[in-house]
Each structure stands twice: as structure tokens, then as C-alpha cells.
Structure 1
């Protein structure tokens, strides 16, 4: 073990936590051959197998379970040391680790830009991934703060609303419904829908809305990203419910329309969260306080005036 490196332990911990060599490689930005090589070296140093494979699934051996507990202790000590050093330095320097769901990528970098202008010595790590993995990272206390939709009650975490997240119905700018007002829910359900993947917060909110109205959607296609959905809309493959934030910075200019549908927008919110009992560093505390004033920095981001036709990204509002 004295010959083992911190990197090898990081690779092992990621595989053990995610139960996947592939996902560990993605999280650590490594190739799969590199991950396999690091585990082989670690296994050789220990002299016992750390994983066993049954079918397509991998499981920790007894030695693997012991090492996983050891890794958690080691990384917890490193985290405390980093926090102590950060607190000693104040806001002149330090690290901020954020994990956000994919839709939050439309405003988080802009928030970070203003924050880092105020505190240029802070090093920021931003992880953008889907809701399921953000919740995994939250449960595993892998980052300082997390930005996502509402946190499930089953997760022991502190969370607070800091920004509105309206969900709207979008279509191609030349869609037959683009110029209509007060479109009924019955009428909109006649259209083909392009949906995010199962587990997406946007999808869950959309399905909940229509289920509450005893309506069933005609799902034509499932896509794993907002960008792919927007391109499908421009291609006239259907309509979709997305966060208005997805249009704020890089929406296809003039090619999409927000439909005026009964009951929309669906009012949702963005939350910041962190595990209950977690001691935040001085940098994380500063960013948390900064998030509480996010509206002041993002006045034009949510296209609040889209309905009245003032949002430049939408045709006819």
C-alpha cells in the first residue's frame, strides 16, 4: 500500500461508489484503459482482488470493502485540511466545488463569472451532469454545494430556493399554434411531445402537471439533452416543455416560440443544497450568500418579459 498513489485510490473510490468502470472514467475524465491500469496496479500492491464480476455487475470483495472505508476516511481528512487552509486564507484564495444539473448550466457559469471577478484568487471546479448523478454526489458529499430542482425528502440535506425556474411549452416559430392565445390543455395534448429522459426533473414536473389534469401525452421521442430537444423543435418534430432558462443564452435565434398554453408556465424553482451537518468552508459560505442574491445578477436571464414579446430569443413571445 505504501507504493499506492492518491490517484489510484481516487479511481478505486469512484468505481466502488458508482459500481461502474465506465462511469468512474467519465467522472474522472480518464480513459477506461487508464482506469483499468490504475486498478491493476493497486490490486498488485495489495495482493488481493478488490472487485469481482457476476454477469455484467461488479461487486466489492471483502478486501475491497475494507479499502473503500479506508478511502472515505482518507478523503474526509483531506477535505478537512483543504477547508482549514481555505479558512486561514479567507477569500483571497481557496477552492469551490460545485455540482449542477444540466439545465443549470445556462446560468451557473454567468453567476460564477461575477463571483470570480469579486474573488479572483478562488479556484472553481464545476461538474455538470444529470439529476441522478447530482443526487449521488450530494449523498456522497463529493462537492461543496449543489444546484438542482427540489431535493427528495429521502436525502438528508439542507436546501433553499434561490431562483425561479419557469417551465414553458416551446415549438418551432412557424408552428400552427405559435400565434394562438389561451391554448387548452386538451388541444396541446393532441401534439407530439419531445421529452427529456426518465428521471429528469423537467420531465417529472411535466408528467405530474398532465397527470393532475388526467391527460396522457403522446411522446414521440426521448432525448438526453435540452440542446437536442431544441434542435428537434426547430426540425418540427413536435413540441416540448423546457425551462425558460434554456433559451436565455443560446436559443436558436427567432426559430422557437413559447406557446400560450392554459396552466403554463409551470412554476418551479432552483435550489442550492448541501448535506445536513456539513461544515461549509468560508468560500462555500460566501458563494451560498451570493446565490441568495442571484436575481440581482441575472435580471435579464429568465426572459421574464417573454410573454409580452420582449425576449429576443422568442418569436411573438
Structure 2
């Protein structure tokens, strides 16, 4: 079957007659007849029954009708997507994200822009609440986050997985040690996120589960400042694996082997429901998913 045949089928289905379908498609009635006959011959069934001057779908016709609309829509979307690539008009995709995105999105967005000509990425980095608020107020097109939230009216797509790890400077005495115990951590200084942070909540849950309540800690609300503090031997910190990976070529950070870590969480993309059909948005979501799969 081809799209001309499916278009003819859909037109007859909508109009209820061959003649009106022909007018709708700006072709002759014999053309509609030929296309439908070829389609019915291929399928080996009758798709319509005549009732006076009108036609109605048979059972087979109703079954085909269930799929044809989606097939034609996909065809239309594919053609439009190809046409969009020919346009010279630049398109901007606005993305809000959290601090984890600082270490993940810049190289990915650069690659996306190189793959999709005339596309520009605008990246806003803040906390989860601000990132989602920007999306809800339609100041951005997408929000890329790692924290679970109440989505309500928003649509979401899981694109990858992050993990919280307990990190130290690579020359810390506990770096490389197998099965670091709670006793080993007793006198360590911890650098922790601010109240309300998902990383802070996950750390506090781990502490509760292990009956470990550190007395020596420093609270910092910026992950980059935490990373720099660990690199300067200030203490240990719970952070995203992506932060540690960003230091891997320098071998400056080490992931400690501690029971209960890593703590896994999903990377998800939030969007307004009407963006689910947007070609550029979906292209970025798929591109992000592919790139994150290589970073896991």
C-alpha cells in the first residue's frame, strides 16, 4: 500500500462517497476508484459497502481506519521535519536545568547545534524549583532535572540515569580503600548541600538508614563551590557522578566505596504537553537520550 491509496481511503471515509472524496483531493472519481481497488486487492478484503449514494466502512475498513490516521500524520510530520531542515530561519530551543546540567548539557548542546543547522540553544541553570517555574511560565521550552517532582500538567520523558556518589580528593586516605565503613567516616568533614536540595535529602536519608550523624560539616549551596572545596581537601561530599566524571581526565576526584552508594536517580526532561509533537523538541530529547547512554 502507498500513501496515495491511504489518502484516498481516508478521504472516502471522511466524505462518505467516492465523488466527494475526489473533490476533496482534487482528483477525478476514477482515480479514487483505482486507488481503492488496488488497496483492497492488496489486502484481499472489501473496505467499503455501498448504501444508496453513500458508502460505509466494512469491519476491515473500520480496523484499517484505526491505523490510517496515525500513518498519515506520521507521514505529514516526517515531510514537515525534512522541510524544516531546508529553512534558513534560525530556531532557538530554551532549556532550564539544575546544577547537574552544568556538567552535562554544554557539550551535548554544542553537538546538537552542530548536528542541526540553524538551531540555537539557550541554557538557564538554577535550582529545581526555578527551572520548573520557568517551564510552567513558558519562559523555557524544556526543563532537564534529576530530582523527582510533582509534574501535574507537565509531560516528562526519562532520558538517562544519574547517580549520587560520595567523593573525596584522589589522594585522600580513604580513596581506593575497599568497603569504607561508617567508623572510617566518623571524623571526616562533610560538605553538604543546602536544605531543600534533593542531594541533601538523599544524604540525610542515607545518614538515617546508617545511624550516622556527622558533627563536622560545612553547608554550601553551590555544587561548583563544593567541587572546588573537595579538590582543596576541605572534606568529603555527596555529588552527581557527572561532576566526578568531569574531573576524570585529571584524576582529581575519587569515588569512595561506601555501602549505600551510589544512589541512583533518573534524568528526566519536562515539557508542556503541546511540545510533545514539536519536531525540534523531540529531536533534542532523542539526542540527549543517546548521549547520556554513552556517559552511564
TM range (shorter): 0.5 to 0.7
Query: TM-score, normalising length from structure 2?
Result: 0.64
Match in the other structure for 1:132: 129
String of CA shifts for 1:149-173, please: whole Å, max 9, x gaps.
1341264321222112111111122
> Distance between the aligned counterparts of 2:214 and 2:152, measured in 1?
30
Aligned match for 2:254, one of 253, 257, 265: 257
CA shift in 2, pair 1:199/1:135, >3 Å = farther
Unmatched 5+ stretches in structure 1: 1-85, 303-317
Provide TM-score, normalisation by structure 1: 0.60
Matched, 1:115 2:118: no
Shift of 1:234: 2.6
Higher helix share: 2
Structure 1 residue 204: Cα displacement: 2.1
Q: How does 1:276-287 map to 2 (within 5 A)?
A: 276-278=273-275, 280-287=277-284
In 1, Cα distance between equivalents of 2:198 and 2:273: 22
3-state SS of paired residue (1:267): strand
Counterparts of 1:94 and 1:154, CA distance in 2 = 27
Aligned length in residues: 214
1:273 aligns with 2:267: no
Does structure 1 conserve the Cα–Cα contact (< 8 Å) formed by 2:170 and 2:254? Answer: yes
Contact 1:188/1:261 (CA < 8 Å) preserved in 2?
Answer: no
Distance in 2 (alpha carbons) for counterparts of 1:151 and 1:179? 32
For residues 282-293 of structure 1, what are the structure 2 equivalents within 5 Å? 282-293=279-290
Q: Alpha carbon RMSD of aligned pairs, Å?
A: 2.6
Provide the C-alpha distance between the structure 2 equivalents of 1:285 and 1:270, rounded to a whole number of angstroms: 16
Q: Does the 8 Å CA contact 2:187/2:216 hold for their aligned counterparts?
A: no
For residues 1-317 of structure 1, the aligned pairs below 5 Å read 90-91=84-85, 92=87, 93-153=90-150, 155-218=152-215, 220-250=217-247, 253-278=250-275, 280-295=277-292, 299=294, 301-302=295-296
Whether the 8 Å contact between 2:276 and 2:282 is mirrored in structure 1 is no
